[in-house]
Structure 1
Amino acid sequence: MVLNNLLLCSFLVIFTACKGQVKTHTARDLILFEPGPTVIKNFKAVAIAPSFDTTLVSQYIRSIFQDSKGNLWFGTIEEGVARYDKKTLTYFSTPDGFINNTVYAINEDKNGNMWFGTDQGVYKYDPSAELRAGGKTFRNYNQKDGLSHLDITRKGILVDRMGTIWVGTHGGVFRYDPVADSKGEPSFSLFQELPPINVAGIMEDRSGNIWIASASQGVFRYDPSARLKAGGKTITHIAEKELLGENYAGGIAEDKEGNIWFTMKNGICKYDPSAALRASGKTFMEYTPKDGLGGTEFWGIYIEQSGIIWVTARGSTTRFDPSLPASDSSAFRVFTPADGLNCCVQSMYQDRAGNMWWGAGSGLYRFDGQRFYQVKKQGPW
């Protein structure tokens, strides 16, 4: 039996080397190749129910992000932020200077600093500080730094192509000024061109426009290049659809054709910016449960590199192939808890290797092509 297992492992290693990247792994494959990491956690999480499964990466994972070094970061509720680098799973919290333990948004700036959005403002993590004696790795930005609203929304931190850091809160959008920060002055200021909206998601499209979805006032598009045009309009307010952009997990994404997708009250919709330039162009196209979406109360939307769209809602998660007509029964595939994924999905992310990750109401999940499986501290990663 041992010999057979060794032969099996050898065959799998040779097959992988010959074929290159394997697009779909099963849970068994991952168990063979990804041993459990060393867990570094020098604190005890608070306010977690006695029934909490301590083998989970975390009970609630609100945000997922991969940095430029390939590390995966998981923003949790009550357990701070965790970093997975294949060898270790490190939890950062109060002892490290990360006082708030609930993380809603994660991003990385052009200098390799990590930014975390919480309900107590923004934290910046300087990885180089770990190499300096007495270096402080985390810094908190709050009211004294110009953030008059401290509750950062999910997907509420954007680093645009120019390196500007945008922060979406329940009371408007703020921008970070590194020069002011270096002088010890308030480094965040409210973006005055927008009303004080409750931000539900913020994204930059391929043309450099900034899209801001609000929780109840539709969607806003900011075109920074319009400043250079005579009479250019920098802000466009899009609110033709009822509760467009309303969501709980940053329901806004761009596909390869440049269409912008949003969650809305009764489903999702595709917004074609170029349609307005065409005679009789249809700007919006809606998809609802009548078309094949599963669940109600739609939360989040994520578009894979392949173009596949994932939509989360109360009660289910839907995989949607927009290359197929909505009338095609294969266009929509609805997954429920019976397929292995807890229904309360709070975050979705695709890493650079093409793997999809889900943060749900009972931990971290991956997808093997047919079913979802849970990723615990010791794997399968």
Structure 2
Amino acid sequence: MTKYKFHHPIYLWLLVGLIINSCNGQPKETTKESKPSPTVIKNFKAVGLAPDFDTTLVSQYFRSIFQDSKGNLWFGTIAEGVVRYDEKTLTYFSNPDGFINNTVYAINEDKDGNMWFGTDQGVYRYNGKTFKNYSQKDGLNHLDISRKSILVDKSGNIWVGTHGGVYRYDPAADSKGDKCFSLVKQLPIMNVAGIMEDKSGNIWFASSDKGVFRYDPTQAEGKAVTNLAEKEGLGENYAGGIAQDKAGNMWFTMKNGICKYDPRRAVGKTFTDYTAKDGLGGTEFWGLIIEQSGIIWITARGATTRFDPSVPLPNPKAFTVFTPADGLNCCVQSMYQDKSGNIWWGTGQGLYRFDGKRFYQVKKKGPW
């Protein structure tokens, strides 16, 4: 297990003006002063922030991060709605703009450029000018949208995961004013923890109580859904983070670690578990992201781990464990890699980036 430590603050200043290139598969990061401070546009007062909230932060709590087709970054927060960063401005959308709910768990963009936001009061669609809310009146009977649970698939279908099942959006019904969200009855009622589409067009649903479900739209209705749970070899019925690597393996986070699923292997050998015994840091594992280089980042209570799956195990060099001593608050709630290869971490104490060796905080004025 490797851990970075720096004993002199001058190290951070030496990084200013440099470009940290990718090294050993780490994400490329630009200099901390490469972009000017954006103009902050905000015409409301947030409700629900801690009394000692640092107003220099972009926000205190981050639940979701997304980059749209124009390159804008969107940050879903708790108490401050959704925030858009376009390099020139940092714009906060909330009540005055028609975005009534201030907690955003999921963000995505459809093929027409509309932005979709999942909250604990249903779904919002933003067309660049106005927000529209979808709730029970639109067929969305469960309003609590889960984190990472709005998917726009390759065909343009919109899937929404809630604490009470999966819903699909029907744009034709919406255009006629009819109920436009319907429960996907092929799937069980479950607490959705994430949705993604794999390279073959299968839709994957991670749940916090029933394992993982794979939906194959090319199959007949009775054969379209496959459940991978504890009895099939998945380490637990709890699955949080979900991602696919370049080789086609699926990766899931579990309460006690992460699990790799390789459907090409023989039955009984399709699942491989990785836990603290192998080198993962922390306890109660939450999120997982696979960066473009193939490196896997795993968040947990107390630590964030960088895992290089190309290193044969057992080998401590495969795992690098970062704790708050390395600059990152331990309560990571969202991770995202943008189109330039930079990875963003949203935590319970603000927004962070990684300079190749340690983490630094991004505030309203930067460094972006």
Q: Which has the higher helix share?
A: 1
**Residues 202 and 215 of structure 2 are in contact (CA less than 8 Å); yes or no, is this contact kept in structure 1?**
yes
The Cα shift of 1:244 comes to 3.8
**Residues 177 and 188 of structure 1 are in contact (CA less than 8 Å); yes or no, is this contact kept in structure 2?**
yes
1:170 aligned residue: 163
Matched, 1:336 2:348: no
Name the SS of the counterpart of 1:226 in structure 2.
coil
Matched, 1:239 2:220: no
Q: Which has the higher contact order (CA 8 A, sep 6+)?
A: 2
Aligned length: 344
**Residues 334 and 346 of structure 2 are in contact (CA less than 8 Å); yes or no, is this contact kept in structure 1?**
yes
**Residues 212 and 219 of structure 1 are in contact (CA less than 8 Å); yes or no, is this contact kept in structure 2?**
yes
Of 245, 259, 278, the match for 1:269: 259
**Residues 306 and 319 of structure 2 are in contact (CA less than 8 Å); yes or no, is this contact kept in structure 1?**
yes
**Residues 211 and 227 of structure 2 are in contact (CA less than 8 Å); yes or no, is this contact kept in structure 1?**
yes
Normalising by structure 2, what TM-score?
0.91
**Residues 29 and 341 of structure 2 are in contact (CA less than 8 Å); yes or no, is this contact kept in structure 1?**
no
> How far, CA to CA, are the matches of 1:161 and 1:94 in structure 2?
32
Q: After superposition, where does 1:46-195 map in structure 2 within 5 Å?
A: 46-127=47-128, 130=129, 137-195=130-188
**Residues 245 and 252 of structure 1 are in contact (CA less than 8 Å); yes or no, is this contact kept in structure 2?**
no
Per-residue CA deviations over 1:56-98 (Å, capped at 9, x if unaligned) read 0000010000000000000000000000000000000000000
**Residues 244 and 262 of structure 1 are in contact (CA less than 8 Å); yes or no, is this contact kept in structure 2?**
no
Which region of structure 1 is more displaced relative to structure 2, 166-175 or 45-54?
Answer: 45-54
> How far, CA to CA, are the matches of 2:51 and 2:194 in structure 1?
33
> How far, CA to CA, are the matches of 2:92 and 2:136 in structure 1?
26
Residues 291, 23 of structure 1: alpha-carbon distance in 2 compared, 3 angstrom cutoff: closer
> How far, CA to CA, are the matches of 1:24 and 1:258 in structure 2?
24
Normalising by structure 1, what TM-score?
0.88
> How far, CA to CA, are the matches of 1:103 and 1:346 in structure 2?
12
The Cα shift of 1:360 comes to 0.6
**Residues 154 and 201 of structure 2 are in contact (CA less than 8 Å); yes or no, is this contact kept in structure 1?**
yes
The Cα shift of 1:282 comes to 1.2
Q: Which has the larger radius of gyration?
A: 1
Which region of structure 1 is more displaced relative to structure 2, 265-274 or 163-172?
Answer: 265-274
Instruction: Extract unaligned runs of 5+ from structure 2.
Output: 1-16, 21-25
Of 351, 359, 363, the match for 1:372: 359
**Residues 344 and 361 of structure 1 are in contact (CA less than 8 Å); yes or no, is this contact kept in structure 2?**
yes
> How far, CA to CA, are the matches of 1:266 and 1:244 in structure 2?
11
Per-residue CA deviations over 1:220-265 (Å, capped at 9, x if unaligned) read 11000113xxx97101011133434433xxx100000110000112
Per-residue CA deviations over 1:93-143 (Å, capped at 9, x if unaligned) read 00000000000000000000000000000000001xx3xxxxxx1000000
CA RMSD of aligned residues (A): 1.7
1:44 aligned residue: 45
> How far, CA to CA, are the matches of 1:267 and 1:23 in structure 2?
23
**Residues 123 and 134 of structure 2 are in contact (CA less than 8 Å); yes or no, is this contact kept in structure 1?**
yes
Percent identical among aligned pairs is 73
User: Which one-letter code corresponds to 1:215 in the other structure?
Assistant: S
Q: After superposition, where does 1:156-305 map in structure 2 within 5 Å?
A: 156-227=149-220, 233-240=223-230, 241-247=234-240, 251-275=241-265, 278=266, 282-305=269-292
